[in-house]
Amino acid sequence: MSGQSKAPIIIKRKKVVAGGGHHGGAWKVAYADFVTAMMAFFMLMWLLNATTENQRKGLADYFSPSIAVTRTSGGGDGAFGGENIFSTEMSARTGVGATRPESEQDLLVIGADGQTNTDAETDGANEKLFKIEEELLGLGGESDVANELMKHITTRVTDEGLVVEIFATPDDPIFDATSGEPTRLTVALVDMIADVFQLVENNVAIEGHSRSKPIVVRDNPVWQISTDRAATIRTLFENSNFDPMRLNRTTGHADREPIVENTMSVRNDRIEIILLRD
């Protein structure tokens, strides 16, 4: 008994280490998510680089259609069936859709006002706009003064109507650099355009555009400048005995819609006068 009492007592302590720090596995999950996201990002960049501009536009238009969907728009016969859902006028097809075949002459298109117009009516409206355009551009050969004025005008027929653009050049501005005060050139141009527009009864829209400023300022003046210039053109129209009820809208776009790539180019100082479709 005495020998057993002298034996050493051994105490064994077990060290328990709880999960944490670099011994845990949570960081691995976060890292795996990060690597997956990076892989998806680089695959997206590669796919964008491998597609053409037209393909990218088609994908973008799929998610955000530029053609309004109408209540009666229709597609082809069967699953796609080789039929295009758009007419030659790039407006959504309406009417019977795919219930029976229609010839190109029988197709109907929806106008900007939501009313149904035939192709003949659309062609008639286009012809009227082209005649006004010819009348306006024909003034250029009448005198040296008219020739100088026409150097500041371009025209184009769009879905909205006949767009007459008055633009500045480095030597001949159309407004004061810091305000909406028009030059004598601008007054003469507006008088000439108002006289030609008197030949029809379509409404008119006026849009002001401005070039960007070369420095960043807290209160960017381009919005106020473009709006003031559009309002000035409206006043000039009214002073030319133009029916004010035909002035449909006056808008300032600042420097958000440049006509040339260099946003600070003087060419972006312009006024667009739109003879709207009926």
**Same domain for 91 and 149?**
no
Residue 17, pLDDT > 80, answer: no
The DSSP-derived string for 245-260 is: GGEEEEEE-TTSS-SS
Given 80, 110, 140, which residue is the final one in a domain?
Answer: 110
Q: What is the mean pLDDT of residues 32-53?
A: 88
**Same domain for 72 and 172?**
no
Q: How far apart are CA 192 and CA 149, in angstroms?
A: 9
Mean pLDDT of the chain, nearest integer:
76
Note the pLDDT tens digit of each residue in 2-14: 555 667 777 777 7
In a domain, 23, yes or no: no
Residue 61, pLDDT > 70, answer: yes
In a domain, 95, yes or no: yes
Q: What is the mean pLDDT of residues 247-261?
A: 92
In a domain, 162, yes or no: yes
Least trusted range by pLDDT, from 85-89, 223-227, 244-248:
85-89
CA atoms within 13 A on the CB side of 82: 1
CATH number for the domain that contains residue 192? 3.30.1330.60
In a domain, 14, yes or no: no
**Same domain for 183 and 48?**
no
In a domain, 106, yes or no: yes
Domains contained in the chain, number: 2
In a domain, 27, yes or no: no
Note the pLDDT tens digit of each residue in 173-187: 999 877 788 999 999
Note the pLDDT tens digit of each residue in 87-113: 444 444 444 444 444 444 444 444 444
Residue 204, pLDDT > 80, answer: yes
Q: Which residue has the higher pLDDT, 240 or 68?
A: 240
pLDDT score recorded for residue 219 = 75
Q: For CA atoms 261, 267, 189, 234, give the dihedral sign.
A: positive
pLDDT score recorded for residue 136 = 78
pLDDT score recorded for residue 217 = 67
**Same domain for 74 and 126?**
no
In a domain, 161, yes or no: yes
pLDDT score recorded for residue 27 = 85
Q: Where are the beta strands (DSSP E) in the chain?
A: 108-110, 116-118, 153-157, 161-167, 204-209, 247-252, 270-276
Domain that holds residue 103: 43-110
Q: What is the mean pLDDT of residues 260-275?
A: 92
pLDDT score recorded for residue 252 = 93
